[in-house]
Amino acid sequence: MKVGYTEFSFGYAFTENLIRGSATAPTGAPVFPNLVQEATLGYDVQIAFPAVPLFFQYKLPELMTRASAFEIAGGQCPGLTLEFFRIALMRRDVSDQHRLLIGWESRYPGQVFYAAPCLRDCAAFNTAYNSASVASRSILFSPTQIGPLPDDKVHTIAYKPGLSYGYFCSQPRQIEAETFESLTGRLSQKFKDKNVRDFRAAAQEVRRAVVQAASPIWRQAEDAVAGRVRQARPPTAADGSALQPDREQAILDVLVAREIARIDMGIDLVIAQPR
């Protein structure tokens, strides 16, 4: 059964809700700004605070409502009951997407995810969007834990809200499912790590890493992308004051990295910072 909304709508709602949802976060909880919207809406970037890059590959599920679904009919997925969701990974012979994500996670452990919604239809999606809870009503899977795809066949992940695990199929194997709440809890501790860089340094490192991993045509287009970002960004902060050079450069680095990652690799980049 189709859920009714699109993958693009889910990806937009997920990142946009991170901004609106951050306003009600408890003291000390991390905030996940979407920097493209920060650039136009005037949210502050906390340069001196630690910053952790996150990479999301959005997946749109199908809602499985029949007992004939092989995960149920075969009895190989204990704990999985109707209704549940199923997402499909890009086939190995069609795209390097999964291999690329595993490579990113080797560079950024615990910071790269498949993200999929737990919202059964448009009504549930709209309700979650209006309450800024799309991210909290989504589920996350580590590409590394899934492991390399064994062949060129279609492979899927079956999951159900409330379960701490899902199943990687077609030969079902249990894998960990992470909630948004558990991710924020881990990041709250990660921000205290002395090895975590501040926003300025993290922005420089992420831009360099993304450009190095990009296809040749996008590596050559880096300066052109930076030029377009400069033209699109307002020249002043939300209060009308001039942007500090280090703040402006840090935002530029992330926006360039995010644009190249999104278009060339299909990955959405978000920067997490503490409140």
Q: Which two tokens stand for residue 85?
A: 């969701």
Please provide the DSSP assignment of 195-242 as one string.
TS-BHHHHHHHHHHHHHHHS-HHHHHTHHHHHHHHHHHS-SB-TTSPB
pTM: 0.88
For 16-66, the pLDDT digits (tens) are 887 666 544 433 344 444 444 444 444 456 777 889 999 999 999 999 999
Half-sphere exposure of 197 (CA within 13 A, CB side): 12
Single out the residue of 271, 273, 84 nearest to residue 188, CA to CA: 273
pLDDT greater than 80 at residue 244: no
Strand-pair partners of 167:
158, 174
For 181-216, the pLDDT digits (tens) are 999 889 888 888 888 989 899 999 999 999 999 999
